[in-house]
Structure 1
Amino acid sequence: MFVRTERLTLRRFTHGDAEAFAAYRSDPDVARYQSWDAPVPPDDAIRKVDEFATGDPEAPGWFQYAVDLDGVLIGDLGLNLDENLKQAELGFTLASEYQGQGYATEAVRGLLDHLFVERELHRVSAECDARNTASARLLERVGFQREGLRRSHTWFKGEWTDDLLFGLLRSDYLS
């Protein structure tokens, strides 16, 4: 399964992605607001990438899309499809050296086009640490509406953090 944008391909992970995956997920700046700790050991990266490679993007639960730029893995998008197959939660990660060039925005828009136009999902939601202003701006740039703030809600990496909640309806995205 592929989603193509002007510069990127969103594709299934392959075993050969493990080294690049470990490299960008081992960057402390990339991991700062994410659920894992850096560095990511090579064996863990291999296990994760092999697990991602067997996922089903049409089934409920998390599916991880590899973000590919001319054959180079530069990040990933996670999609948690609800049991009802009509709504999902979105997450994204991009290697530091590719940030600030519009790749994350392009990848997220490409996936949203696929989800809302081809698969006709009703809603996609996302949340981020309130300190992660770059992610919040990206979500707003692609059309998400800020729906809430959960103050001191998540115990994360040794501290309480605020969560920003975002949502995007198919009807709003397509209008």
Structure 2
Amino acid sequence: MTLLLETTRVTLRRFRPTDAVAFAAYRSRPEVARYQSWTAPVSLPAAVTTVARFVDADPEEPGWFQYAIALRSTDELVGDIGIDLHENGMQAQLGFTLAPAFQGRGLATEAVGGLLDVLFDERGLHRVSAECDARNHPSARLLRRLGFREEGLLRSNTWIKGEWTDDLLFGLLAADRREFAGS
């Protein structure tokens, strides 16, 4: 399956080898990498290797699968969403990244919300979780806006980029999503 879904403005699809240049560009931005596990800049050879892994991955298998977020009107890659499907096939963790030029327009909310609909309504997942650096206020707001509940704070939990950081934990149950979508 190449295309996962289309919303009003974005398409979630499999990565293509030609996405490597745009992938390297937005993941090389210091403000994008700040709360992430990678270090900017991301070289083009590293991006080519990473995108090749994404291309070869199977979204039906347990483990991480990365979807490309592209503008529906142009197919331009503007970000990505990773899903870590649990071995039981009933729960997953997600993470997302969006290029700075496309932030603040509701595109990430649209993409993540559409993916949640697929995960709960079509794939029948019971639970989706997410975590973010507690200083990453835009990501935390997006998760709350989509109905995720803050389930905890892990103080000084992650050693990353030379410092200890706090992690916010979020969870969303299928029943909560149905209730949230109905309101």
| TM-score interval for Structure 1 and Structure 2 normalised by the shorter chain | over 0.9
Residue pairs, 1:1-175, within 5 angstroms: 1=1, 2-69=4-71, 70-175=74-179
SS state of the match for residue 168, structure 2?
strand
Amino acid at match of 1:112: L
CA RMSD of aligned residues (A): 0.5
How many angstroms does 1:4 deviate by?
A: 1.2
What secondary structure is seen at the aligned counterpart in 1 of 2:108? helix
1:167, distance to aligned residue in structure 2 (A): 0.1
* 1:141-167 per-position Cα deviation (integer Å, ceiling 9, x unaligned): 000000000001111110000000000
Once the 2 structures are TM-superposed, how far is the Cα of residue 3 of structure 1 from its aligned partner? 1.2
Query: Post-superposition shift, 1:57?
Result: 0.7
Distance in 1 (CA, whole Å) between partners of 2:104 and 2:98 is: 10
Q: Give ranges in structure 2 of 5+ residues lacking alignment.
A: none
Deviation at 1:73, TM superposition (A): 0.1
Number of positions where the alignment pairs a residue of Structure 1 with one of Structure 2: 175
Segments of 5+ residues of structure 1 without an aligned counterpart are: none
CA distance in 2, matches of 1:154, 1:97: 28
Q: 1:87-130: CA deviations, max 9, x gaps?
A: 00000000000000000000000100000000010000000000
Q: Percent identity?
A: 65
TM-score w.r.t. structure 2 length? 0.95
C-alpha deviation, 1:62, in angstroms: 0.1
Q: Distance in 1 between matches of 2:161 and 2:111?
A: 28
Matches of 2:173 and 2:82 in 1, distance apart?
18
- TM-score (norm: length of structure 1): 0.99
Q: Which residue identity does 2:150 align to in structure 1?
A: R
Deviation of 1:41 after TM superposition, in Å, equals 0.5
Separation in structure 2 between the aligned mates of residue 167 and residue 109 of structure 1, nearest angstrom: 14
The 2-side partners of 1:24 and 1:153 are apart by: 27
